[in-house]
Each structure stands twice: as structure tokens, then as C-alpha cells.
């Protein structure tokens, strides 16, 4: 129901904008469409990866690897996978939701998502060029440690 309310508000806002200035509204819609076209290939590829992962990994396997019973090893595995993986945030959260639905634990998903967003093993060479080895290492290590702390806080709270 809430989704329909948001769609209605967006439609009403678009109608008001169109009424006030058709030219700007058309330009904004064209710009939004171009942005959508730029994001679409990445989004579709991630959906394919998620679909393949969920097809290959059964809910039981996900539960064993990343479930609440996997404990510290599951948290570390999720943190390492998140550190290595390069996925945009708008894809990471639906992926996390799918993993949760299939048996992953909150603490493990918190470690995965927080390292995914904050630790950049794949982007480390660029970061070293920009900030230097020491700053890049300190930032990534601190982000990894913070992600583990955040995961354990989530584990205690939830």
C-alpha cells in the first residue's frame, strides 16, 4: 500500500512540474532516462549474478555458510567476500535481502554489506595512487575492523 502512495505522490509531483514548466520537465525526464540507461547494464548484470548465485547455492548452503550458526567464521567469510566484491549500493541491499530470505544471518549480512561499501580491495591500486600506500592501508584496515565491530553490534542488538 505504501508503495502505491509513493507512486501516486511521484505522479502528482510530475504532473505539477509539467503544469508549471513543460520544457524543464521534459528535459528532466530525458536526463533521468539517460541515467537509467547508464545504470541498466550494471543492474541487469548484478541481477543475473544474484539469480545464478541463488540457483547454485541452495538455502541450506547459504544457511551453512552465512547463517546464524556459522558464527565468527561466517562473519569473517562474509567480510572477506564483501571486501573483495565490487557491487554498487543500489544492488547490495537487494542482494542482502535475498540472502536473508534464504537463511543468512543478520550479523553475517551486516559484515558483508559494510565491508562491501567501505573496504575496497579491487579499487586499492587506484586508492594507493591517489592517497599513497600508508593512507590506503590504514583506511581499508580501519574500515574492515569497523565493519566487524558493526556486525557484532548488529548481532547483539538483533
pLDDT 10s per residue in the chain (158 long)? 889 999 999 999 999 999 999 999 999 999 999 998 988 887 787 678 777 777 787 777 878 888 888 889 999 999 998 898 877 787 788 888 888 988 889 999 999 999 999 998 888 998 999 999 999 999 999 999 999 999 999 999 98
49: exposed, middle or buried (C-beta count within 10 Å: 0-12, 13-18, 19+)?
middle
pTM: 0.68
Distance (Å, whole) CA 105 – CA 79? 13
Do 14 and 91 lie in a common domain? no
Do 50 and 67 lie in a common domain? no
* Residue environment code for 64-78, b if the CB has 16+ CB neighbours within 10 A, otherwise e: ebbbeebeeebbebb
Do 64 and 6 lie in a common domain? no
Count: domains in the chain:
2
* Backbone region of residue 87 per phi and psi (left: phi > 0; alpha: psi in -120 to 50; beta: other values): beta
In the numeric block, the cell 567464521 is attached to 73
Do 51 and 95 lie in a common domain? no
Q: How far from the centroid of its chain's Cα atoms is residue 157's Cα?
A: 21
Do 14 and 1 lie in a common domain? yes
Do 124 and 80 lie in a common domain? yes
Do 15 and 74 lie in a common domain? no
Do 71 and 90 lie in a common domain? yes
Residue 41's domain comprises 1-56
Do 81 and 145 lie in a common domain? yes
Amino acid at each position: 500500500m505504501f508503495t502505491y502512495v509513493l507512486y501516486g505522490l511521484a505522479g502528482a509531483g510530475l504532473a505539477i512540474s509539467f503544469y508549471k514548466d513543460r520544457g524543464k520537465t521534459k528535459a528532466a525526464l530525458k536526463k533521468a532516462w539517460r541515467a537509467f540507461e547508464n545504470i541498466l547494464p550494471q543492474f541487469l548484470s548484478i541481477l543475473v549474478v544474484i539469480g545464478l548465485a541463488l540457483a547454485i547455492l541452495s538455502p541450506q548452503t547459504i544457511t551453512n555458510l552465512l547463517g546464524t550458526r556459522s558464527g565468527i567464521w561466517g562473519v569473517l567469510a562474509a567480510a572477506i567476500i564483501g571486501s573483495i566484491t565490487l557491487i554498487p549500493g543500489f544492488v547490495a541491499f537487494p542482494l542482502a535481502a535475498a540472502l536473508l530470505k534464504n537463511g543468512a544471518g543478520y550479523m553475517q549480512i551486516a559484515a558483508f554489506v559494510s565491508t562491501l561499501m567501505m573496504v575496497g580491495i579491487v579499487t586499492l591500486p587506484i586508492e594507493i595512487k591517489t592517497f599513497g600506500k600508508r593512507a590506503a592501508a590504514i583506511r581499508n584496515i580501519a574500515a574492515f575492523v569497523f565493519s566487524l565491530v558493526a556486525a557484532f553490534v548488529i548481532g547483539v542488538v538483533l
